[in-house]
Structure 1
Amino acid sequence: MTINILGCYAATPRTFTNPTSQVLEIKGRMFLIDCGEGTQVQLRKQKIKFGRIEHIFISHLHGDHFYGLIGLISTFALLGRKNDLHVYGPKGIKEVILLLLKVSNSWTTYNLYFHELESAESEVVYEDEKVRVSTIPLRHRVYTNGYLFEEKPAERTLNIEAVEAYEIDQAYYRKIKYGGDITLEDGRVIPNAELTFDPPPCKSYAFCSDTAYKEDIVPIIKDVTVLYHESTFLESEERYCETTMHCTAKQAARIALKANAGNLILGHFSTRYESIDLFREEAATIFENVDVADDGKVFEY
C-alpha cells in the first residue's frame, strides 16, 4: 500500500507548498483523493501515469480540495483519454464541472461519471473484488466526507508439501484456497488449516480532511492500518478550531489513539508555522507512530 502526497497544506497554494491531493495505490488499484490546484503538475513531478487514475474521491467543495479537478479532466481529454473516469463527491460537484465544460466547450473524449453523495451516515461508494471504499462523515463548514479504503481478504496460500503428501488432486486446489476442507478416499477429513497458509493481513487507509474533532468516526476507522488526519493548527491556536472546524495535531493524535490506528500521518497544515516538525512533536506526546506528510513524500506500508 503506497500513499503519494501531492499536496498537504491548508488554504492557498504557494510557490513551495500545494493544497490537498494524494494518490493511493492499494491492491493494484490507483485512487486520486482530493484535487487541489496544481494536482496535475504534481502528478507529472512524481511520474504517476494519468491513465491509471479511473476513480477520483473529493472530500468537499472547498477550493483547496477540488479546484484542480476541472483542469485535470480537461487535460485527460487533451491527451486523448478513452477509458472511463468516475468522480465521487458532494452533491453539486456534477453541476459545477459540467458548467465549466459547457462554457469552455471542452467536452471530454471519454465517459465521465459522477457519484454525488448526500448521506450523513457512512456508506459504501465503491467496491470490486479486491477493494471496498466507504465514506467517513466529517464535521466541517460544508458537507464533507473522508474515505476509508479497505483491502478484501486474499485467497489462502496452498501448502504444496501438505497437499502433495495427501495426494490431493489439483482439481480441488481452488476449493482449498477458498477455505474448504478435503475428504480423502479413505474417509479422513483434512482440515483446511493443514493444507494452507493464512493470507497476509488486510490493510486499510482512512483519509480524514477537513474536520473538527469528531470522536464518532472512531468505530468506522477502528484498527485502521494508516490514518491520515488533518492537523491545521498546533495547540497554541486551538481557539481557532471551533470557528474554522479544523483540528490540532494533538486532537488528531487522540483520534488515532482511540481508533487503535497502526500509523498516523498528519496533514493540512496551516502555513503560519515555521516547521511542520512541530506537528509531529505535539502529536507524539499522545500517539507514538506518527509522521508528517509533505509535498512529494511517499509512504509505503
Structure 2
Amino acid sequence: MGISVTILGSNSALPTSERNPTAQVLNASGRFFLIDCGEGTQMQLRRNRVHFGKIDHVFISHLHGDHVFGLPGLISSFGLLGRTNDLHIHGVADLEMVLRPVIDYFSRELPFKVVFHHINPLEKELIYEDAALEVATFPVEHRIPTVGFLFREKPKERKINKQMCDFYEVPLRVLPKLKKGEDFIPDSGGHVPNTKLTLPAPPSVSYAFCTDTRPLPSVVEVVKGVDMLYHEATFMSDQEGLAYKTFHSTARQAAKVALQAGVKKLLIGHFSSRYKDLSPLLSEAREVFPDTEIATEGVTFEI
C-alpha cells in the first residue's frame, strides 16, 4: 500500500550516456501512472521491470521533446504487445493535434483506444480520480504552457480492532460502517464509541511533480506540506541568470521552494547535460534543505 516513484529519466533536453530525458512511473497501490515520456522511456520501463500493461494513464507536463518524444514509440509497442485496455493520455490540447496523425500513420490498427484528456495549463484542475487517489494540475512558468502534477491519496478507512470487536460481539455486517467512523449500537441497546473498536487510519500521502519552471510563490502554496516534492534543478546557482533566461531553476532555488512549502522530502532532477558529476548540485540544495536526494535513474523512492 502507499505510493512509490521510480525515476526513468532525470536529464534535461540533451540525453547523455548515463541519463535519459524526463520520465517517472508512479505506483499507487498497484496502479501505475507514467509522468512524462522522454525518448528512451520504454527501454527504461523494461530495465526497471515495470509491466507495460499496468500503465493506463500518462500525464504529460508540456510539449517539449524531452518530455514527450518517447510516447509514439511506447504506443506502438503497446499495440505490438496486444494491449486491449484503453490508454488515457492527459495533456494540453495541442498534444492530441500533434500525436493523432503520428498514431494514425504508424499505428493505425491499434487493438486499443487512445483517449486524450485535454487539460487547461492556466488553471488548477482535478484531472483524475478513483476510489483512493486524486491527481490535480497546477500552472508553472516555462517558455510554453506547462503544468505540474499533484498526486494525493484520499483519506483512508480506520482499522478494525479485532480484539475489542470480539469483546463487544460486533457482527461482521457492522465492520464496514466502523471503518468509515460510525459508532456501534448493539441490538440490546447502549452505545460503543468507534474509537474503542477501531485504530487510526494509516496516513494518506502526497507527491508533487514540478518541471520545467522558474521558482514560483504560487507553486509553494500548491505543494505545501506534501510528503515528497520533485522539483527541477537544471543548473547550479552560478548559472542563475541562464536559469531565469531559459525559464528553469537552480538547485538552490528548488531547495528554497521545498523549505518555504514545508515539504518532507525533496527530489531534484532535470539536470543540464553540462554536469557530469551531480554531487555539487546535491550539496547546494542540501545547504538550504537537508532532506534532498538526487532523482537517480533506476531508483525507487517510497513515499
Establish whether TM, by shorter chain, passes 0.5.
yes
Report the residue type matching 2:227 in the other structure: T
What stretches of structure 1 of length at least 5 have no aligned partner? none
Aligned counterpart, 1:136: 138
Please give the per-residue CA displacement for 1:89-148, whole angstroms capped at 9, x wherever unaligned.
Answer: 112111111111233353421011001112412110000001100002111000001101
Q: How many residues align?
A: 301
* Counterpart among 234, 253, 256 of residue 254 in structure 1: 256
Cα distance in 2 between the residues matched to 1:161 and 1:255:
46
**What's the CA shift for 1:187?**
3.8
Cα distance in 1 between the residues matched to 2:11 and 2:242:
17
Report the residue type matching 1:25 in the other structure: N
Cα distance in 1 between the residues matched to 2:252 and 2:38:
25
**The residue matched to 2:287 in structure 1 has which SS?**
coil
Cα distance in 1 between the residues matched to 2:121 and 2:12:
25
Aligned counterpart, 2:158: 156
* Counterpart among 5, 8, 11 of residue 10 in structure 2: 8
Cα distance in 2 between the residues matched to 1:105 and 1:67:
15
Cα distance in 1 between the residues matched to 2:27 and 2:187:
45
Report the residue type matching 2:49 in the other structure: K
84-93 or 114-123, larger mean C-alpha shift = 114-123
Aligned counterpart, 1:25: 27
**The residue matched to 1:80 in structure 2 has which SS?**
coil
Q: CA RMSD in A?
A: 1.3
Aligned counterpart, 2:88: 86
**The residue matched to 2:166 in structure 1 has which SS?**
helix
Please give the per-residue CA displacement for 1:139-173, whole angstroms capped at 9, x wherever unaligned.
Answer: 10000011011111221111111111112222211
Cα separation, partners in 2 of 1:81 and 1:105, compared to 1, 3 Å:
closer
* Counterpart among 224, 242, 245 of residue 243 in structure 1: 245
Aligned counterpart, 2:112: 110
**What's the CA shift for 1:295?**
1.9
Report the residue type matching 2:172 in the other structure: Q
State whether residues 136 and 208 of structure 1, in contact with CA within 8 Å, keep that contact through their aligned partners in structure 2: no
Please give the per-residue CA displacement for 1:237-256, whole angstroms capped at 9, x wherever unaligned.
Answer: 00112210000011111111
**What's the CA shift for 1:185?**
4.4
What stretches of structure 2 of length at least 5 have no aligned partner? none
Report the residue type matching 1:71 in the other structure: G
State whether residues 232 and 268 of structure 1, in contact with CA within 8 Å, keep that contact through their aligned partners in structure 2: yes
State whether residues 35 and 65 of structure 1, in contact with CA within 8 Å, keep that contact through their aligned partners in structure 2: yes
% identical equivalent positions: 44
1:123 partnered with 2:125: yes
Cα distance in 2 between the residues matched to 1:80 and 1:96:
24
Q: How does 1:1-301 map to 2 (within 5 A)?
A: 1-104=3-106, 106-185=108-187, 187-301=189-303
State whether residues 62 and 144 of structure 2, in contact with CA within 8 Å, keep that contact through their aligned partners in structure 1: yes
**The residue matched to 1:16 in structure 2 has which SS?**
coil
**The residue matched to 1:213 in structure 2 has which SS?**
coil
Cα distance in 2 between the residues matched to 1:97 and 1:145:
19
Report the residue type matching 1:173 in the other structure: L
**The residue matched to 2:288 in structure 1 has which SS?**
coil
Cα distance in 1 between the residues matched to 2:299 and 2:187:
57
Cα separation, partners in 2 of 1:298 and 1:237, compared to 1, 3 Å:
same
State whether residues 74 and 106 of structure 1, in contact with CA within 8 Å, keep that contact through their aligned partners in structure 2: no
Cα distance in 2 between the residues matched to 1:247 and 1:277:
17
